[in-house]
Amino acid sequence: MCGVFGYVGDPVDLGDRLLSGLQTLEYRGYDSWGIALARDQAIAVDKRIGRIAGVSTALSGSDIGFGHTRWATHGGVTEPNAHPHLDCSGRLAIVHNGIIENHRDLRAELLARGHAFRSATDSEVVAHLLEEQVGQGRNLASAVANVFARLQGLNAIVAMDVVSRQLVATKHVSPLVAGSVDRGAYIASDALALRPHLDQVVYLEDGQLALMDRAGLRVVDRATLQWIEPARVTLDRNLDDARLGDHPHFMAKEMAEQPAVLERLVIHQRPQIEAMAEAVGSTPTTLIGCGTALNAALTGRYLFARIAGAGVDVVAASEFASFAPLLRPDGMVLALSQSGETVDVLEAVKAAESYGARLGAIVNTPHSSLDRLVDLRVLLGAGPEQCVLATKSYTAKVATLLLLAHAVRGSYAEGAALVVRAAEALARMLEPGSVAEIQQLANRIHSSDHLFVIGRGLAYPSALEAALKIKEVSYIHAEGFASGELKHGVIALVSDGTPCLVYAPADETRADVLSGAAELKSRGAFIVGIGPEPDPIFDIHLAVPETGDASPIVNALPAQLLGYHTALLRGNDPDRPRNLAKSVTVK
């Protein structure tokens, strides 16, 4: 989490440039922000609590500076804890993403040697350790290399020296991407922030160190400081897909993009899906992911069983370490991730690699760490997803898994037809009349404290995903359950008027799910049925077109819309829900 953006080069209106770069990265963390830039031989700093949108800074022209948008781990959300952090002399500043696991020992050591700390963060130790190294006559590159060797954990740091006019950056797992311009360079946590400025970028690898000054970007090996010719990647500079356009929020934009994303996916991703099907079809496969990606993986498990008659395992990436030793030598681990940067996913993939498993990914972000780690990938091609809540990446992952299961069975065209049918259904469900029904429902439930969602079979993971979507954006306590599990405890939570969403697809589970709905209703629940057909048990029926095994795709949209409109009624920002971040790069 945390976003980093920096520049060195010809003098520009840097305060504004840093703010607009950070704003692009705000999805990574948005509790506070800070920028620092050189004023002659001193460093000027502006740090604030809260969002960047709409703010301005008195810091203006400079030739070198950087900024940071924070998701607090160590130390509360305060201005002193916001980055950048300076050394005692005011010559050096740092920004950091990650967790320095041994920060307590390092801080104690530095305090004993007389350093004065201004924050409660783990990050500030880096500034003081660098101060000692530079004080001993080392240049910034070797100082950063030495200091980084002392840090435990998964970290990315960028250091600025106003004397040498350099930025130096290095990382372990946490992402950094940089590139040269005429007489200068940029660095950021995500290429999205660099797209307005650069045509080509370098994704920094672990063990590399980026040195940036008016000569541009150079990359060296962190251990030897020997120069490396890094791989350069050309960026797609079409910025339109990253802009909000006429939409009120990124969540609205990304929900609306789903039909087009799915229609593209069916055609463009076919070769990648068929290549992956060859591997998955002949190999015991474990799907891993976190959050929404885990719900997509669980859906995939049902799709594989139904369509391909094949069993796949599903494990939360954060829990994978317990199962990695059970991987068979011919096994495959298929990681699902929008960002390709979720640290638990990356760790799990590395663990799988150490046990000799074949590595695959279904990932949205090209050139992300996950994309670079695996042998086989399907790129979702859904375009940047900037709302913290995953919407289009979820339906694209589910569609990919459906197509993959069909490809394993040798019936890709059948799967493609289903996905296209689901895309058309989503387009109809996004029309104002259908959305108005959901707005009315949001009016009915927005002051509820609890909400439950049930589903069975293929609709069970849809219930988990619906509850996740609603709770993370509305802050209503929402839980998804397998409808058969109701009687084993959950039903004790239902009382008069409790809203319960019931997924009732037109498949073999419908009768049993309706029995569950009846049991809820007789305890006073307010039943919202989601499915192709109405039923007298429903207090409200949200009609979704019949799409067969593509039902998890269409089932996702009512919950996305309900979460969105409920959030608006409760005064929440749908794009930046409290306490969350889009890219979870810490454990």
The residue ranges that bind ligand G6P (CB under 6 A) are 290-293, 337-339, 342, 345, 388-390, 580, 582, 584
Q: Per the residue annotation, which of 253, 392, 397, 582 is the catalytic one?
A: 582
Least distance to ligand G6P from the beta carbon of 320, Å?
A: 13
Q: Of 147 and 468, which CB lies nearer to ligand G6P in the complex structure?
A: 468
Peptide linkage before 11 cis (omega within 30 of 0): no
Among all residues, whose Cβ is closest to ligand G6P? 291
Give the residue ranges of DSSP H helices in 342-456: 343-354, 369-373, 392-409, 412-429, 432-445
Torsion of CA 552, 557, 560, 563, to 10 degrees: -110
Do the beta carbons of residue 193 and residue 10 sit within 8 Å?
A: no
Residue 197 in tokens:
């400025």
Least distance to ligand G6P from the beta carbon of 290, Å?
A: 4
Residue type, 106: L
Least distance to ligand G6P from the beta carbon of 371, Å?
A: 12
Do the beta carbons of residue 118 and residue 144 sit within 8 Å?
A: no
Residue 233 in tokens:
């990647």
Q: What are phi and psi of 40, to 5 degrees?
A: 55, -120
Q: Of 170 and 369, which CB lies nearer to ligand G6P in the complex structure?
A: 369
Q: Of 339 and 551, which CB lies nearer to ligand G6P in the complex structure?
A: 339
Least distance to ligand G6P from the beta carbon of 333, Å?
A: 14
Q: Of 279 and 580, which CB lies nearer to ligand G6P in the complex structure?
A: 580
Q: Of 373 and 388, which CB lies nearer to ligand G6P in the complex structure?
A: 388
How far apart (Å, rounded) are the C-alpha atoms in residues 325 and 128?
Answer: 41
Q: Of 117 and 475, which CB lies nearer to ligand G6P in the complex structure?
A: 475
Least distance to ligand G6P from the beta carbon of 385, Å?
A: 8
Q: Per the residue annotation, which of 2, 290, 387, 500 is the catalytic one?
A: 2
Identify which of 78, 239, 95, 75 has the alpha carbon closest to the alpha carbon of residue 160: 95
Instruction: Determine how β-strand 200-203 pairs with β-strand 208-213.
Output: unpaired
Q: Is 582 a catalytic residue?
A: yes
Least distance to ligand G6P from the beta carbon of 184, Å?
A: 31
Identify which of 473, 469, 549 has the alpha carbon closest to the alpha carbon of residue 501: 469
Q: Kindly report the CA angle at 347 between 346 and 349, in degrees rounded to 5?
A: 65
Least distance to ligand G6P from the beta carbon of 545, Å?
A: 26
Q: Of 174 and 339, which CB lies nearer to ligand G6P in the complex structure?
A: 339
Strand order in the sheet with 477-482: 477-482, 450-455, 499-503, 526-531, 540-543
Least distance to ligand G6P from the beta carbon of 561, Å?
A: 17
Q: Of 290 and 445, which CB lies nearer to ligand G6P in the complex structure?
A: 290
Q: Kindly report the CA angle at 188 between 163 and 182, in degrees rounded to 5?
A: 65
Q: Kindly report the CA angle at 488 between 543 and 442, in degrees rounded to 5?
A: 30
Which H helix or E strand runs over 553?
helix 551-569
How far apart (Å, rounded) are the C-alpha atoms in residues 452 and 463?
Answer: 9
Collapse the DSSP code of 337 into the 3-class scheme (helix H, G, I; strand E, B; otherwise coil) and give the result.
strand
Do the beta carbons of residue 59 and residue 37 sit within 8 Å?
A: yes
Collapse the DSSP code of 246 into the 3-class scheme (helix H, G, I; strand E, B; otherwise coil) and give the result.
coil
- Hey, which residues are catalytic here? 2, 582
